[in-house]
Amino acid sequence: MWALEGPKSASAAGPVYKYFGKWPFIRVLGAQELASVLFSIANMLAHMHCMRRYLRYMRSLQAKSVAAGGNGSSGAAAAAAAAAAAAAAAAAAGLLGKSRSSSPQPGLQHAHHGSSTSSGGVGGGGGVYPYYWLWLVYSLVNANAWLWSSVFHCRDTRVTERFDYFSADLTVTVGLGVSLVRVLALQTAPQLLGLGLLLGGGLLQHAYYMAFIKFDYGYNMKLCLGSGGTLSQPSLASSTFAAGCVPATQQQPWRAPAADFKPKAAACGNAAVAGAGSE
């Protein structure tokens, strides 16, 4: 590559070409694309930081719920825990900072408030919020995608490229699943298993085609764009409907900002995927 581009760079003659979809960057500290590596690491650390905050917050909710239940005020504690858990879910999705919700989200009616045991996994948050595990999976999958993105941009090989692309595909698939689970309020094992098999089967078929038949960049880009657009529609429709049709006294504080934020976030995400795929 540099045998061709070096002389042109020195004489400023001729256009600069891409090689396997990438510009001929100069290695810095062994990294082929240092800026992309640093930005990918920053994104990964952001997800890990928010996941730690989420775990800490849900543990505190569980502890308060258990303590209040022991004092004979489990009913009030349940309402408070449900309201706080609603805020935690919105914060985990990046739609609400440190604000608190005044009423439980749909689906919280089935949470086992005040219980001293957890059904949600690590940290004991499942007792106050039935979708506790959902945001953990979402955070871990996103952090994994940015990890492999940083590795790929540091050293582009056949293996790192596959891990980067397939991790991104997994992130889009899990994001679509999370969106459908929350909007449709899926909670039973058959519901979750059916959705998981449907999405997982589609992802495996896509990965098999890319890995063993043809590693088609254009096909992958179109699929990610379609999935990303589909991902944003359920939650966007839910937020927009609630912001415009639900009485103000029944609305949660995050719905109006969410209806404004989600179209912009979806547009940025689709533009990023389209830009990457066009390379």
Most confident of 19-28, 103-112, 258-267: 19-28
Q: 185: Cβ–Cβ under 8 A, 6 or more apart, which residues?
A: 106, 107
First-to-last CA distance in the chain? 17
Reference 269, options 236, 229, 216, 217; nearest CA is: 229
**Mean pLDDT within 262-278:** 58
**Mean pLDDT within 163-190:** 89
Q: Report which residue type is found at 210.
A: M
Checking if the pLDDT of 71 tops 80, the result is no
pTM over 0.85: no
Residue 85 · residue 91 · CB < 8 Å: no
Average pLDDT value over all residues in the chain: 72
Give the range among 27-31, 47-51, 163-167, 191-195 with minimum mean pLDDT: 27-31
pLDDT at 145: 93
Residue 104 · residue 86 · CB < 8 Å: yes
pLDDT in tens, 106-131: 444 444 433 334 444 433 455 677 88
Residue 109 · residue 131 · CB < 8 Å: no
Checking if the pLDDT of 226 tops 90, the result is no
Q: How far apart are CA 178 and CA 133, in angstroms?
A: 11
Q: How far apart are CA 110 and CA 129, in angstroms?
A: 9
Q: How far apart are CA 130 and CA 224, in angstroms?
A: 29
Give me the helix-helix angle, 189-208 and 158-184, nearest 10°.
150
Q: How far apart are CA 179 and CA 151, in angstroms?
A: 28
Q: Report which residue type is found at 115.
A: S
pLDDT-based confidence at residue 259 (cuts at 50, 70, 90): low
pLDDT at 180: 86
Q: How far apart are CA 158 and CA 206, in angstroms?
A: 17
pLDDT at 156: 86
pLDDT at 14: 67
Q: 184: Cβ–Cβ under 8 A, 6 or more apart, which residues?
A: 234
* Percent above pLDDT 90 for the chain: 28
Most confident of 4-8, 101-105, 198-202: 198-202
Checking if the pLDDT of 5 tops 80, the result is no
Q: 79: Cβ–Cβ under 8 A, 6 or more apart, which residues?
A: 104
pLDDT at 162: 92
Higher model confidence: residue 45 or residue 132?
45
Q: 25: Cβ–Cβ under 8 A, 6 or more apart, which residues?
A: 32, 33, 34
**Mean pLDDT within 6-19:** 67
pLDDT at 137: 92
Q: How far apart are CA 201 and CA 265, in angstroms?
A: 27
pLDDT-based confidence at residue 243 (cuts at 50, 70, 90): very low
In which element (H, E) is residue 28 found?
Answer: none
**Two structure tokens written together for 22:** 């990438």
pLDDT at 278: 47
**Mean pLDDT within 217-233:** 76
CA atoms within 13 A on the CB side of 148: 20
Q: How far apart are CA 122 and CA 18, in angstroms?
A: 46
